[in-house]
Amino acid sequence: MSEITNPTVRIETSMGEVVLELDAVNAPITVANFLEYANDGFYEGTIFHRVIDGFMVQGGGLTADMRDKDNKKAPIKNEADNGLKNNLGTVAMARTGVVDSATNQFFINVGDNTFLNHTAPTSQGFGYAVFGKVTDGMDTVNAIRQVKTGNSGMHQDVPAETITILKVTVES
pLDDT of residue 126: 86
Dist. CA 153–CA 107, nearest whole Å: 21
136 Cβ contact partners less than 8 Å away, ≥ 6 residues apart: 17, 18, 19
Residue 3 included in any domain: no
- Cβ atoms of 59 and 105 within 8 Å: the answer is yes
Report whether 78 contacts 129 (CB < 8 A): yes
Q: Which domain holds residue 133?
A: 8-170
Per mean pLDDT, which range of 60-69, 75-84, 120-129 is the poorest? 120-129
Structural domain includes residue 89: yes
> Average pLDDT in the 45-65 region?
97
- Please give the DSSP secondary-structure letter assigned to residue 6: S
Let me know if residue 2 belongs to a domain. Answer: no
Residue 115 lies in a domain: yes
Sheet holding 16-22, edge to edge: 46-52, 56-63, 106-109, 90-93, 130-136, 16-22, 8-13, 165-170
Strands 90-93 and 130-136, bridge-based pairing: antiparallel
Question: What are the tens digits of pLDDT across the range 79-96?
Answer: 999 999 999 999 999 999
Residue 113 sits in a domain whose CATH number is 2.40.100.10
Q: What confidence tens digit (pLDDT) does each residue in 24-35 have?
A: 999 999 999 999
Cα four-point dihedral sign 60, 62, 116, 113: positive
At residue 4 the predicted structure's pLDDT band, cuts being 50, 70 and 90, is low
The pLDDT confidence band at residue 1, using thresholds 50, 70 and 90, is very low
| pLDDT value for 120 | 58
Strand 8-13 relative to strand 165-170, pairing: antiparallel
> What pLDDT does 62 receive?
97
| Calpha distance 12→9 (Å, rounded) | 10
For residue 99, pLDDT over 70 is answered with yes
Whether the CB-CB separation of 91 and 60 falls below 8 Å is answered with no
> Structural domain tally of the chain?
1
In a domain, 123, yes or no: yes
Interval 146-166 mean pLDDT: 97
Query: Residue 143: helix, strand or coil by DSSP?
Result: helix
